[in-house]
Amino acid sequence: MKVGLILECGPQGADKAVCEYLTNLLNPEIEVVSLTLDNKPGLIENCADAVATLFELEGCDRVVIVWDLYPAWRKAGERPCRKQDRDQILEKLSNAGITNPNVFLVCIEEELEAWLLWEPQAISIFLSKPHRKSRFIK
């Protein structure tokens, strides 16, 4: 099965890394194609085009739209609303004629990186980098 992920982060963002890792952990047979849309306003505005791309161009069987309810960059005192986010996303999809039952919405209450805390070794896996050889050692 091929699953498309639409995420509110940059191309190398933590949300992308975490979602791809968790998907692989749950089922290594799933092929993941991720599209990153920088932030929640960008995700809401461009989700319909991203869904169409994942189904039509990438051949995904399912698409999951993932966003943080409380993004780190929100304004002080701002009170986000799941229903409002959901309604805006569904409106964008409906306006684009997207009615596919294989589109799923996932709103993360805590920032997605917190999901890594449930598996102690997960943080180590993501933060570990291969040692580089110094050019100056003779």
Mean pLDDT, consecutive 10-residue stretches, the chain (138 aa), reads: 94 88 90 94 96 97 91 69 92 94 88 58 54 47
Q: Domain range spanning residue 81? A: 2-127
Complete edge-to-edge strand list for the sheet that includes strand 2-7: 31-36, 2-7, 62-68, 103-108
Task: Flag whether 89 is in a domain.
Answer: yes
pLDDT (0 to 100) of residue 136: 45
What total of structural domains would you count in the chain? Answer: 1
**Residue 90 is assigned to a structural domain of this protein:** yes
Grouping H, G, I as helix, E, B as strand and the rest as coil, residue 29 is: coil
CATH number of the domain bearing residue 35: 3.40.50
For residue 135, being part of any structural domain is answered with no
Q: Calculate the alpha carbon distances from 43 to 26, 48, 74, 118 in Å.
A: 25, 9, 14, 27
- E strands in 37-102: 62-68
- Do the domain assignments include residue 133? no
Reported as type and span, the H/E element at residue 104 is: strand 103-108
Task: Determine the residue type at 88.
Answer: Q
pLDDT value, residue 138? 43
pTM (predicted TM-score): 0.78
pLDDT at 137: 47
* Pairing, β 62-68 against β 103-108: parallel
Residue 48 lies in a domain: yes
Residue carrying the six token digits 């449930």:
118
Res 71: pLDDT: 67
Q: Considering the domain boundaries, does residue 18 fall inside one? A: yes
- Other Cβ atoms less than 10 A from the Cβ of 20: the count is 17
- For residue 68, being part of any structural domain is answered with yes
